[in-house]
A and B are shown apart, each in its own frame.
Chain A
Amino acid sequence: MSISVKLDRVLLDRGMSLTELSERVGVTIANLSILKTGKAKAIRFSTLEAICKELNCQPGDILFFEDDGRPIRHDD
């Protein structure tokens, strides 16, 4: 069971680079890279809020809960 981050997919949809997002939300590229590659252990609400604001999305568009690689949906 794990939380996976789909930041790269949202960035692709919005046509935004990681560098641009970094400048807009005020988080270093190194930290965003940690988040994007799924190495992050935790995310602050303030960071999540800034990312969602800039990407015009919901937290659920970025974060997914997977049970052994199988995504869990509301209707499961």
Chain B
Amino acid sequence: MIRAIGKGSLASILAVGLHIVRVIVWIAFAGLSAALIAIPLIPPFAEWVAHVDGASIEGDIGVDAGDFVEVLRHFISFGVALYVVERLLELLKTLRFGSPFVKENARRFRNVGVALLIGELSKIAIWILAAIFDADVDADLDFMAFVSIAAVLVLAEVFREGARMKEEQDLTV
């Protein structure tokens, strides 16, 4: 049977997995950040190169507003993922080195729920941007995502009550 805490426990295995995910998400997030800055600069750069004598650009480097909106959508998704992974690692840390029933964990769960909600609702902003720039962006609202967000927020309340009970138990003589 897998232990709850300590070496070889599910928490430590999850922590290792989340550390790997964090590195991957950080790399993706850094790449998307760079792309977000670079995309608006590509057309003026291409125009500048076209005016330089003897210089030419081969191939199609045309980017439009749709590309920018698409990158923005992924930037927000990975930003939220990064935030969630960081909070989950903090949560697992408290599980591995003591009791998880502390007020901070209730706050972390609530923040995760709010971050996921912002991530999901940001799709509305993406729709508006896509409509403005006449871009074709796939960003449908996911019903199951809202159910998951509700579950996380309920879990936050459970942890808040758990933290209160733990405090009461600790202060019972």
Contacts and interface: CB of A to CB of B under 8 A. Distances in A.
A and B held together in a complex = yes
Interface of A: 27, 31-32, 34-35, 39-44, 47
Contacts of A35: 173
A39 B167 CA distance: 11
Nearest to A25: B173
A34 B171 CA distance: 7
A56 to B, nearest CB: 20
Contact of A44 (B167, B168, B172): B172
Contacts of B167: 41
Contacts of B172: 40-44
Interface in B131-167: 167
A56 B168 CA distance: 28
Pairs A-B, 7 closest by C-beta atoms? A41-B171, A42-B172, A31-B173, A35-B173, A41-B168, A40-B173, A40-B171
Nearest to B168: A41
Given A27-B173, A40-B172, 4 more contacts: A32-B173, A42-B168, A44-B172, A44-B173
Nearest to A33: B173
Nearest to B172: A42
Contacts of A47: 173
Contacts of B171: 34, 39-42
